[in-house]
């Protein structure tokens, strides 16, 4: 059986463009004699539409495209994802019900099912309501529908009977989360295996985060282990970018066919790019894996955000400080959009070293982008003079640091107006976590590509950029040399807002703490304290950094931990007002790792462990 894997870049909210792409791939699949073509979850509409799902006229428009696709199915089976409705059932919001559906048509007819119910239709059983997902806010699951329709729970897990060329293939349909059934009380995959399905097709819109593919394959192997074997599994995922406002999600594609042992035999590219791959499910055809996946993900996010949100109309303005974050961001912008559309601004004060200014110039030259130099020291002094008209209090050194950042933000915004451009945000995840940024200064921007990337990961990303480009783009003096028991810096990270300033972060140690505190399903800080007390922490990667920063002394450990937790809590109001963040981890600030503004009291367990740790300091 020849199957076309229709891995498309689904544009959220643009059904006409999506369906036109699907029709092009359908024509290609017909020419190559494919029996069946499979498209991703919500391929017509896009998956991340937020409360646009509550617009009845828009949903009716989306559903109307089903007839176009059904009429295109002459001679070929087509499976695709789109919204659906049950006419006599209202949703929780009082509007017409909505469901996340898979449709199956062949020869301009809906494909029949073994139980003769609801031909051509499958409804997602397991609605994710964690991380960036709010499916139950918008859709009824098949489990909920079963109760509303007075049906058995498994009423939609009947095999589709795909009859072509004198053969009948029994196909089980699933949608994305249905494969990840370990945390639910219903398992669509098991139902299909019990029915002796010939194959299972899973259509997905699964956002990529680091190591996501490992988690997916663990789920497949879990089904193999629980059932002894599975049947061929066809997994088709979207590629490109979609967003829900604060979280910009990228989709890697990586559509694949797995055999009865759960081993991947066929795959499309996992480089976030479209592909229509026609395969024989019993053959082997593995695409080469993307080696620099985080780099590819960020380039995809920038490129697609530029196209989908701004229609590639504007230039991009970036503050070039000569530090690591802005250097990496400038390289990403240039690689994604081309050097002609990037304008760098170096905005120096008396605190900026000649080294960082030279870095900015060398970076711009290596990238071929424009770098405009300016001195903002006079503006800083004038603003201090101006402020003294309104207060008799001394303008503190800390206030002057923030004044510099806000002036830079103002200049970036002003030049963006003059140049018909948009501003990119340069912040990284550790800075965001600790609120180490000035509101309306270095928190501005329409997109924050690096704000889910810790500094330590940025070091590796910088090296990847240099390697891919075959030359030094990111200056080597920004990258540490990490030895067994030491970190050597040529130029330690600094905001350069006062003399001899160094960032207050304990790099590598605080990076790991931020990762622990944010990654889903969350990390209890008490676990860190328990491991510290027991000594287990020294068997973990973070243990070496505790020793290096002399935090194996209990009072120092507690002082630092409470500084981290305090800064983390105080920084919420800045994160809420920050630019949309490209999500690449399992705990991105925004709509992934969700926060509110309040002061949390320490738990009883925390206070108990703190006392136990400090008691060791006095022995």
Break the chain into its structural domains and give their ranges.
Answer: 2-290, 299-613
pLDDT value, residue 619: 55
Q: Pick the range with the lowest mean pLDDT from 57-66, 126-135, 348-357, 408-417.
A: 348-357
How is residue 484 annotated by DSSP?
T
Proportion of the chain above pLDDT 90, given as a percent: 90
Question: Which residues, listed in sequence order, are joined to residue 461 by a DSSP beta bridge?
Answer: none
CATH classification code of 299-613: 3.40.50.620
Rama region for 254: left / alpha / beta (φ>0; ψ in -120 to 50; rest):
left
Confidence of residue 136 (pLDDT cuts 50, 70, 90): very high
The helix (run of H) or strand (run of E) holding residue 233 is: strand 233-237
Fold of the 2-290 domain: Nitrilase/N-carbamoyl-D-aminoacid amidohydrolase (3.60.110)
Write phi, then psi, for 361 (nearest 5 degrees).
Answer: -65, -45
Q: How far apart are CA 361 and CA 370, in angstroms?
A: 9
pLDDT value, residue 484: 78
pLDDT value, residue 217: 93
Q: How far apart are CA 15 and CA 117, in angstroms?
A: 28
Choose among 420, 358, 352, 341: nearest CA to 380. Answer: 352
pLDDT value, residue 522: 64
Q: Give residue for tokens 């689904």.
A: 10
Which residues contact residue 256 at a Cβ distance below 8 angstroms, ignoring those fewer than 6 apart?
Answer: 235, 264, 265, 266, 267, 268
- Hey, what are 438's tokens? 């000035």
Q: Residue 232 pLDDT > 70, yes or no?
A: yes
Confidence of residue 501 (pLDDT cuts 50, 70, 90): confident
Residue with more model confidence, 520 or 250? 250
Cβ distance 514 to 454 under 8 Å? yes
Q: Which tens digits make up the pLDDT trace of 303-358?
A: 999 999 999 999 999 999 999 999 999 999 999 999 999 999 999 998 888 999 99
Number of H helices, E strands in the chain: 19, 22
Region 257-277 average pLDDT: 97
Helix segments in 72-207, DSSP class H = 135-138, 142-148, 188-194
Choose among 134, 128, 67: nearest CA to 103. Answer: 67
Q: Residue 115 pLDDT > 70, yes or no?
A: yes
Tally of CA atoms within 13 A in the half-sphere of 583 that contains its CB: 33
Question: Which residues, listed in sequence order, are joined to residue 241 by a DSSP beta bridge?
Answer: 250
Region 556-580 average pLDDT: 95
Choose among 433, 367, 441, 455: nearest CA to 406. Answer: 441
Cβ distance 248 to 590 under 8 Å? no
The whole-model pTM stands at 0.95
Q: Pick the range with the lowest mean pLDDT from 195-209, 469-483, 515-529.
A: 515-529
Cβ distance 98 to 60 under 8 Å? no
Q: How far apart are CA 268 and CA 5, in angstroms?
A: 8
pLDDT value, residue 88: 86
Would you say how long the chain is, in residues?
A: 619
Buried b (16+ CB within 10 A) or exposed e, 208-233: bbbebbeebeeebebbbeeeeebbbb
Q: Residue 42 pLDDT > 90, yes or no?
A: yes
- Hey, what are 615's tokens? 């008691």
């Amino acid at each position: 059986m020849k199957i076309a894997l229709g891995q498309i870049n689904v544009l959220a909210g643009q059904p006409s463009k999506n369906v036109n792409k699907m029709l092009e791939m359908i024509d290609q699949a017909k020419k190559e004699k494919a029996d069946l073509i499979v498209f991703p979850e919500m391929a017509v509409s896009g998956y991340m539409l937020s409360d646009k799902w509550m617009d009845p006229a828009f949903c009716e428009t989306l559903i109307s495209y089903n007839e176009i696709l059904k009429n295109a199915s002459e001679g070929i089976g087509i499976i695709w994802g789109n919204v659906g409705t049950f006419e006599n059932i209202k949703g929780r919001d009082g509007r017409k019900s909505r469901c996340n559906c898979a449709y199956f048509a062949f020869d301009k007819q809906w494909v029949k099912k073994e139980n003769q119910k609801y031909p051509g239709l499958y409804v997602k059983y397991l609605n994710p309501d964690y991380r960036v997902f709010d499916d139950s806010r918008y859709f009824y699951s098949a489990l909920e529908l079963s109760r509303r329709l007075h049906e058995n729970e498994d009423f939609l897990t009947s095999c589709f009977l795909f009859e072509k060329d004198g053969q009948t293939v029994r196909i089980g349909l699933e949608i994305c989360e249905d494969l990840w059934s370990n945390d639910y009380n219903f398992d669509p995959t098991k139902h299909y295996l019990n029915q002796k399905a010939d194959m299972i097709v899973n259509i997905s819109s699964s956002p990529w985060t680091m190591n996501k593919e490992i988690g997916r394959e663990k789920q497949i192997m879990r089904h193999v282990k629980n059932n002894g074997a599975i049947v061929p599994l066809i997994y088709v995922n979207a590629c490109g970018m979609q967003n829900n406002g604060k979280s910009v999600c990228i989709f890697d594609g990586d559509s694949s066919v797995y055999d009865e042992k759960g081993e991947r035999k066929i795959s499309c590219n996992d480089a976030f790019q479209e592909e229509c791959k026609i395969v024989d499910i019993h053959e082997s055809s593995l695409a080469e894996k993307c080696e620099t996946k985080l780099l590819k993900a960020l380039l995809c996010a920038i490129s697609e955000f530029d196209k989908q949100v701004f229609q590639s109309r504007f230039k991009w303005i970036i503050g070039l400080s000569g530090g690591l974050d802005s250097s990496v961001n400038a390289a990403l912008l240039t690689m994604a959009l081309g050097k002609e559309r990037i304008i760098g601004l170096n905005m120096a004060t008396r605190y900026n070293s000649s080294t960082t200014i030279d870095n900015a110039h060398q970076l711009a030259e290596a990238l071929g982008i424009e770098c405009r130099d300016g001195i903002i020291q006079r503006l800083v002094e004038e603003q201090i003079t101006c402020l003294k008209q309104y207060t008799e209090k001394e303008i503190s050194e800390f206030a002057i640091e923030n004044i510099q950042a806000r002036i830079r933000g103002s200049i970036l915004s002003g030049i963006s107006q003059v140049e018909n451009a948009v501003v990119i945000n340069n912040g990284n995840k550790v800075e965001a976590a600790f609120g180490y940024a000035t509101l309306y200064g270095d928190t501005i921007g329409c997109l924050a590509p690096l704000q889910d990337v810790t500094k330590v990961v940025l070091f590796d990303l910088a090296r990847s950029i240099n390697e891919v480009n075959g030359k030094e783009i990111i200056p080597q003096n920004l990258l540490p040399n990490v030895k067994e028991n030491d970190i050597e810096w040529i130029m330690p990270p600094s905001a350069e807002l006062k003399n001899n300033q160094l960032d207050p972060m304990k790099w590598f140690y605080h990076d790991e703490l931020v990762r622990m505190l944010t990654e889903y399903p969350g990390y209890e800080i008490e676990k860190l304290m328990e491991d510290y007390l027991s000594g287990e922490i020294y068997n973990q990667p973070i243990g070496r950094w505790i020793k290096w920063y002399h935090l194996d002394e209990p009072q120092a450990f507690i002082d630092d931990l409470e500084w981290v937790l305090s800064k983390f809590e105080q920084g919420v109001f800045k994160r809420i007002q920050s630019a949309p963040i490209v999500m690449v981890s399992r705990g991105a600030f925004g709509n992934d790792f969700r926060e509110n503004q309040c002061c949390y009291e320490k738990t009883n367990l925390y206070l108990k462990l703190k006392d136990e740790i400090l008691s060791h300091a006095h022995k």
